Structure 1
């Protein structure tokens, strides 16, 4: 097997590289705000585009619009024409369109038709009387006594088709525009809806769970206003639901981080107790595991605190978000370094890594730099192309690290086979099988996410978006849990520690010194002298035969042999075999 080369090895390498590329996972999106501060002045209203705000909202969420401050003491008086447009859609990508052009939302303002196949829904349009900004001192001029009635969007196609399945509703046939519209359901939104008592600045109320767009148009009626007659108006737009300001798509993610934070706290306490009980026999790799657990606990706590701030304040603190991304990058870097040194056999097969340690540190620093850059660019909502440009080298480096991990695991397991160390070999078999399972699970999830999220034109299942971010963190936590179980502190720690290879012939002589002394000077009958060459060759054959007969094969043996064909590994294997001779 060591001498196999050619297309077979290249195909195996390409296939494994493709599988390993899936463990990086897609980048998570920026959190949705719940509160916006909008500054409107004489320059901003010259743009024909309306101000737009998008968010996934729960049913019965309140949308508020309030004037916070105004500076309109100019001549001639500032007369504004204010109107807003609220629309929901059953297609997530229609509201959150990453490829949207500058005039994308302008085409939706006052629209009464479905513009994307499957994007059926409702809309509400409200227009206020002329607003005199210079004389009116009432800051709640935009509040309404009763919410406007929603109107059904007109379908583009007249033929009845089956809508996409939405959670909690059965498939039904769409009604063509010429048929009578359905009556409002029990959730409200009829023309005789009750007045808004607890929300003095409320302007609208949502009618179902889903993504919404809120478009605000402010137009100065004086088109020929002189340049020195500048005015400004600051407004506050908020969207608050049953769980305060957090969006409907991120509420499950906040609960997930809360649960994971509790789990990491319990894991940290358990690891600390075990380490304290067996502190005399701790291995070096167990300190690395403790560091990864601590960083994971801190990371989950910071993300949970960020979502809590988003829930109660309506916006995230920029510095806290950047700190969370940097902390996440440090944790992921340390986790990959942990898996690399474990696969290299540090402290178990090798007492030290030597020159390999410089390579491990260099690769870890490179991954940390790429990860921090990608996270900061994603948080600051930079251009999508720039974020993608930063994510590509990170994914390539992650794939290279995974390749290195599997190659090192294969070499370590082969050395343990030659040394007949069944205990350590069993540990590495479980560890390798876990990583292979993680790769397979990653590939399956990527295929599912690509089909339902990336390639979907409508993406009606927006409630499953949180899984796209939670899956990768849950998968890493599962791998960490397996590593904790395999390398847990115990009274038998030293059986996994590195021990130098002992010459078996000298060991047998030490066990039977009395027998050698008793028959010293006597010629043993039946004993036949053998040459050194034949004795060594026979011993090597017996060793390899013992390995084949006593050590069963596993999934790792089936998946990893194509990785053992490098010349360096062949030399290392021959060197280990020479030790046993």
Structure 2
């Protein structure tokens, strides 16, 4: 807190800030989905699952408005893979074509699959909660693309819960595909087209495992953000203690350092609440996640500006920054802009688009310029 600071201390402060401003950035995985069904429909769900995670399917609607002329054939396909991109980066139209596939997409990969179907005589039977299977369907290994299908099966020995259809067999990324086929049972088959719109219900899919709705990707992050909340609180208490001890020697830049710590506490608290919501409810509030990403972008932008200000010697060996202020403001604004765009695209599902690529490249370029600026000022 003294006004004289060595260059070694400046280096340590720079390293501290860059250690605090980065965070693992991935969107949380939803565990509960609900969708309206009013025609033949295929649904694709993706998630990283723990072993023994149970997949539930529930159907909800108004039984008083049921059309007794419809039966329903609902089939599903569950596939695990060692390749993350096969599960999460395969477009929905290509993923639907994988329904019932018994082989791997490429040699050298591995995985397993399981499938089954359920037939309901009418929508009243569909909406009634029940145990769909006496035992979980067996899962089988995926074969090589050029080999014959394997008949080897692995059986479950336990009875499913109400509405349970499948269970994960290992920690892995999973692809879950559901086909809904309404079957018209009227005397006049031509009436099927006119009757298709006379039924509607909602299908709810839940994936619940050893850590409730948290996936192997989300559970460590929830622990990480909980620890970081505690760390930032300790930083805040320690910073207030130092400010109280050296209040006569405080510099303006030290108030901005306190602002970074406060923003860090808010950011980590919001992210922790997001993963807590995933853990207990299986879903999160998108607006809260976007708010946390914007807080994170603001905190990281301010932290980089402070690192540059300290490296320039402001308040230590220089009384003012002069014309350098405009360049500092430009760096902060550009970083805040691209960081906000990147964070919002990541949590809204557009992380692999062209705009996200431009934002990431811009952030890398700005960080490189910041590091070069710091090194140049230390050598000058």
TM-score normalised by length of structure 1: 0.57
Q: Are 1:242 and 2:239 counterparts?
A: no
TM-score normalised by length of structure 2: 0.84
SS in 2 for 1:115: coil
Match of 1:216 in 2: 178
Say if 1:24 and 1:398, in contact at 8 Å, map to a contact too.
Answer: no
Query: Structure 1: which 4+ aligned runs deviate by more than 6 Å?
Result: 23-27
Q: Are 1:399 and 2:368 counterparts?
A: yes
| Structure 2: gaps of 5 or more residues | 1-19
Match of 1:87 in 2: 79
| Structure 1: gaps of 5 or more residues | 1-22, 159-175, 412-581
Say if 1:24 and 1:395, in contact at 8 Å, map to a contact too.
Answer: no
Q: Are 1:40 and 2:37 counterparts?
A: yes
Pair 399,311 (structure 1): closer, same or farther in 2 beyond 3 Å: same
Give CA-to-partner distance per residue, 1:350-371, whole Å, 9 cap, x none: 1111232233223312321222
Aligned pair partner of 1:150 in 132, 135, 139: 139
How far apart, CA to CA, are the structure 1 residues paired with 2:300 and 2:378?
20
Higher strand share: 2
1:409 positional shift: 2.7
Aligned pair partner of 1:271 in 231, 239, 248: 239
Q: Are 1:204 and 2:166 counterparts?
A: yes
Say if 2:21 and 2:299, in contact at 8 Å, map to a contact too.
Answer: no
Say if 2:33 and 2:206, in contact at 8 Å, map to a contact too.
Answer: yes
Give CA-to-partner distance per residue, 1:503-524, whole Å, 9 cap, x none: xxxxxxxxxxxxxxxxxxxxxx
Count of aligned residue pairs for this structure pair:
354
Match of 1:61 in 2: 53
Say if 2:47 and 2:174, in contact at 8 Å, map to a contact too.
Answer: yes
Pair 26,287 (structure 1): closer, same or farther in 2 beyond 3 Å: closer
1:70 positional shift: 4.4
Cα RMSD for the two superposed structures: 2.7
Give CA-to-partner distance per residue, 1:145-201, whole Å, 9 cap, x none: 32112222223356xxxxxxxxxxxxxxxxx978x95x85xxxx43xx2223xx322
How far apart, CA to CA, are the structure 1 residues paired with 2:272 and 2:280?
12
Give CA-to-partner distance per residue, 1:255-280, whole Å, 9 cap, x none: 11212221221121111111111111
Pair 297,74 (structure 1): closer, same or farther in 2 beyond 3 Å: closer
Give CA-to-partner distance per residue, 1:83-124, whole Å, 9 cap, x none: 111111222222122xx3442112211111122333322211
Aligned pair partner of 1:283 in 251, 254, 271: 251
How far apart, CA to CA, are the structure 1 residues paired with 2:82 and 2:126?
40
SS in 1 for 2:194: coil
How far apart, CA to CA, are the structure 2 residues paired with 1:263 and 1:315?
26
Match of 2:13 in 1: none
How far apart, CA to CA, are the structure 1 residues paired with 2:120 and 2:126?
14
Match of 2:44 in 1: 52
Report matched runs for 1:168-207 at 5 Å: 181=152, 184=154, 189-190=155-156, 193-196=157-160, 199-207=161-169
